Amino acid sequence: MPMSIISLTTDFGVDSPYVAQMKGAILSVQRSVQLVDITHSIPPQDILAGAIVLHDTCPVFPAGTIHIAVVDPGVGTARGIVAVRSAATWFIAPDNGLLSGIARRNRPDELRRVENRQLWRSEVSSTFHGRDIMAPVAAHLAAGGDPAQIGPKIDRLIELPWPEAKFSPKECRGEVIAVDSFGNLITSIFGRELATHFAASAAQNEGLHIEIGDTLIRGLSGTYGQAQAGQIVALIGSSDRLEIAEVGGSAARTLRTGRGTPVAVRP
């Protein structure tokens, strides 16, 4: 049997022993598993930021992967925990909107409420369900366990309003949804949307004007290294999102901008 893959995405902070506790709980059920950290740097309790990371990252993983996500300000309260199958991949998370992006990308094929205590750790704390509930449930799936044992089917997930680009014939309005470690400004506008609405191939469309704050960028670049150092460019990044970047520098620092900043594109 090929190794099962479990990924972890949390707001616990880089290098937190809480992450290791989740891994210990997984390995207590199933030792031969490929554990992958997606990130533990989601801003504390920022559910939407977590949902965006899952949306952009999880599709790169192979079918059968089990993703655990823990951004869980309501831990221990009445909020549910869900197991969701979407695009042949499982997600275990609190039902608080954290899977909003996943559910938008591929309508889930199976939704279950995590309820069967038999699969959980014998003692369940009221403050760390990632370790005591989600980790062993993910390990159950990784060990080839029956999803039906997790809990009953449910009809719907809680979903957050999703930052999406708005198009009119004259312009597209979106926003910066994330800043990566290079200072690139990642937006809510997808390359495929620009292509559909404005032109045959947005990536080649030199006529697009991109506006962020006082900065106007003319045309899309193909990649970071095609312009002079220090130049602010716009391009379609590796998750198909419109990005604003500074060649050899940090656009976030130079433009003094970040998440939530409006971005407009005009054909």
Binding site for a second copy (CB under 8 A): 2-3, 5, 7, 12-18, 20-21, 23-25, 27-28, 31-41, 44-45, 53, 56-58, 60-62, 65, 73-77, 125-128, 131-132, 180-182, 222-226, 235, 237-238, 243, 248, 250
DSSP code, position 157:
-
Helix/strand number for the chain, H first, E second: 7, 14
Q: Which is nearer to a second copy, 152 or 258 (CB)?
A: 258
Of 122, 39, 45, whose CA–CA distance to 79 is shortest?
45
User: CA 244, 250, 253: angle at the middle one, nearest 5?
Assistant: 100
Q: Give the shortest CB-153-to-a second copy separation in angstroms.
A: 26
Q: Give the shortest CB-267-to-a second copy separation in angstroms.
A: 22
* φ, ψ dihedrals at 91, nearest 5°: -130, 130
| H or E segment to which residue 117 belongs | none
Residue pointed to by tokens 């910066």: 176
Q: Which is nearer to a second copy, 106 or 167 (CB)?
A: 106
Beta bridge partners of 215: 212
* φ, ψ dihedrals at 168, nearest 5°: -125, 170
Q: Give the shortest CB-100-to-a second copy separation in angstroms.
A: 17
Q: Which is nearer to a second copy, 168 or 181 (CB)?
A: 181
Q: Give the shortest CB-152-to-a second copy separation in angstroms.
A: 24
218 vs 222: CA distance, rounded Å: 13
Q: Which is nearer to a second copy, 112 or 131 (CB)?
A: 131
Q: Which is nearer to a second copy, 41 or 231 (CB)?
A: 41
